Amino acid sequence: MQDTEGLPPTHGPSERRQPKLPYFVLGNHVRNLDFIGRKEAIQTLTEVLVPLEDKKLPEKLRAIAVTGIGSMGKTSLGVEFALRFQDSLDAIFLVQATSEDYLAQGYAGIAFKLGLIGQVDAANKVVGRNVLLQWLNNATKADKFNNEARADASRAKWLLIFDNADKPDVLEDFWPTEGIGYVIVTSRNPNAGRARFYSIQSLKLDPIATEDATKMLFRITDFTETNQSYGEAHKLASRLDGFPLALQQISCYVRRTEMGFAEALSLLNDDATARRLLSSLELLGHTLATV
Ligand SMILES: Nc1ncnc2c1ncn2[C@@H]1O[C@H](COP(=O)(O)OP(=O)(O)OP(=O)(O)O)[C@@H](O)[C@H]1O
Ligand SMILES: [Mg+2]
């Protein structure tokens, strides 16, 4: 149950502060300039969360869960999607959803930065959570809250990313049930589309397609594409099984050491060397160790 106690009397709905919009804060995530592929995934997000492009508001909350194993690119996808649609939005939020504590901290921080509460109230996680939740549930741009504020023109369009919600039930007290906005939940939990209190569409992220993975190798290494180098990169990309973190790290390694794709592939084909290399790149523990 949502706890409404602890709201400071000065921040009741009729006296809320004016939010500082636009607000585009993605935690410590910045745009990945090497972002590659994921065309279908972006399309699915768009279909589920539309009509973002129409610049209209949906009639209710629209949400989707992006699932997949560790480092498959869930957060990257959410961030890239948010940035691609930034122009249609007034606010983008990303909160760590690993636990209720992180969520409460994230909400309080956002409520403060959005200008809805002062520093003192921001130290109180219950206040922070309630104030932001209240705003999400009726996201006005105006400082005064009245019935007319429900008109599209004065409503703020927001997208919220709950990142790393491996236990989606922890989202319950933070879920903007009444909100008219867009939510992306990223999670390693394949069942993140279903929680105790919601049932939303789910998108499972698979490895990056080999063609896209090959492009990623060229993009990061900045190597010149020839028929020969393309063939070698393609083989390396399939060896890395379209696993984004591996592609990224091996590309950086190749670029740094100036070895070619073929040489990197032969290193990876030798079990002992591969193990050493992957562990030095901190990839052991991920599926790549067994690739
Ligand atoms: N489409 C992509 N293009 C380029 N790089 C990518 C892409 N997807 C992921 N990466 C890179 O792969 C790494 C892992 O991605 P990311 O952190 O998004 O995975 P994740 O699924 O959110 O992982 P976790 O479950 O650990 O949170 C990052 O370094 C990211 O830059
Ligand atoms: Mg992530």
Q: Does a structural domain hold residue 20?
A: yes
CB 94 within 8 A of CB 161: yes
Do 253 and 113 have their domain in common? no
CA distance 40 to 106: 30
pLDDT band at 276 (very low <50, low <70, confident <90, very high): confident
User: Which of the listed ranges 44-53, 266-275, 278-287 does the model predict with the highest average pLDDT?
Assistant: 266-275
Position 190, amino acid: P
Q: Does a structural domain hold residue 118?
A: yes
**What's residue 30's pLDDT?**
84
Do 55 and 125 have their domain in common? yes
Ligand nearest to the CA of 37: 1
Do 46 and 155 have their domain in common? yes
Q: Does a structural domain hold residue 1?
A: no
- Whole-number Å distance, alpha carbon 209 to ligand 1 midpoint, is 14
pLDDT band at 73 (very low <50, low <70, confident <90, very high): very high
Distance of CA 253 to the CA centre of its chain: 26
**SS3 of residue 24 by DSSP:** strand
- Whole-number Å distance, alpha carbon 147 to ligand 2 midpoint, is 38
Q: How far is CA 277 from CA 249, 265, 270, 282, 289, in A?
A: 10, 12, 10, 9, 10
CB 121 within 8 A of CB 8: yes
CA distance 19 to 204: 35
**What's residue 151's pLDDT?**
53
User: Closest residue (by CA) to atom 12 of ligand 1?
Assistant: 245
Q: Does a structural domain hold residue 18?
A: yes
pLDDT digits (tens, 9 = 90+) for 114-170: 999 999 998 999 999 999 999 999 998 864 444 444 455 688 999 999 999 999 999
Helix (H) / strand (E) element for 214: namely: helix 210-221
Residue 68 CB coordination number (10 Å) = 21
Helix (H) / strand (E) element for 119: namely: helix 119-122
- Whole-number Å distance, alpha carbon 72 to ligand 2 midpoint, is 8
Average pLDDT over residues 257-275: 89
Do 198 and 214 have their domain in common? no
Q: Could you list the residue range(s) of the whole structural domain that residue 183 is in?
A: 9-204
Do 236 and 113 have their domain in common? no
**Closest CA relative to residue 157, chosen from 86, 206, 220:** 86
Share of the chain above pLDDT 90, in %: 67
Residue located via tokens 């409503």: 155
Q: Does a structural domain hold residue 4?
A: no
**What's residue 51's pLDDT?**
55
Q: Does a structural domain hold residue 19?
A: yes
- Could you tell me the end-to-end alpha-carbon distance of the chain, in angstroms, rounded to an integer? 45
**What's residue 131's pLDDT?**
95
The last residue of a domain, from among 155, 188, 204: 204
Do 191 and 175 have their domain in common? yes
DSSP 157: P
- Whole-number Å distance, alpha carbon 95 to ligand 2 midpoint, is 11
Closest atom, ligand 1, to C-alpha of 32: 31
Percent helix, strand, coil in the chain, to 5, is 45, 15, 40
Please choose from 248, 250, 251, 288 the residue to mutate so as to test ligand 1's pocket, defined by most ligand atoms within 8 A of CB: 248
β-sheet with 182-187: strand ranges across: 23-25, 91-96, 158-163, 182-187, 62-67, 201-204
**What's residue 18's pLDDT?**
81
Closest atom, ligand 1, to C-alpha of 249: 29
Count of residues making up the chain: 291
CA distance 262 to 258: 12
CA distance 113 to 25: 9
The last residue of a domain, from among 204, 219, 237: 204
Do 88 and 175 have their domain in common? yes
Q: Is pLDDT of 5 > 70?
A: no
Pick the range with the lowest mean pLDDT from 78-82, 150-154, 166-170, 172-176.
150-154
Do 188 and 274 have their domain in common? no
Q: Does a structural domain hold residue 3?
A: no
- Count of domains observed in the chain: 2
> HSE of 260 in the Cβ direction (CA atoms, 13 Å)?
13
Pick the range with the lowest mean pLDDT from 66-75, 205-214, 274-283.
274-283
User: Closest residue (by CA) to atom 16 of ligand 1?
Assistant: 73
User: Closest residue (by CA) to atom 4 of ligand 1?
Assistant: 35
Do 80 and 137 have their domain in common? yes
Position 52, amino acid: L
pLDDT digits (tens, 9 = 90+) for 29-52: 888 888 999 999 999 999 998 755
Closest atom, ligand 1, to C-alpha of 164: 27
Q: Is pLDDT of 266 > 60?
A: yes
The last residue of a domain, from among 183, 204, 225: 204
- Cis-peptide, bond into residue 13, ω within 30° of zero: no
Do 283 and 228 have their domain in common? yes
Do 263 and 285 have their domain in common? yes
Average pLDDT over the chain, rounded to an integer: 86
Average pLDDT over residues 176-181: 93
Q: Find the residues whose C-beta lies inside 6 A of ligand 1.
A: 32, 34-38, 68, 70-76, 164, 186, 188, 216, 244-245, 248
Q: Does a structural domain hold residue 2?
A: no
- Whole-number Å distance, alpha carbon 77 to ligand 1 midpoint, is 8
Do 97 and 167 have their domain in common? yes
Q: What pTM does this model have? A: 0.88
**What's residue 3's pLDDT?**
45
Strands 62-67 and 23-25: unpaired
**Closest CA relative to residue 76, chosen from 46, 40, 34, 105:** 34
Which domain CATH number covers 22?
3.40.50.300
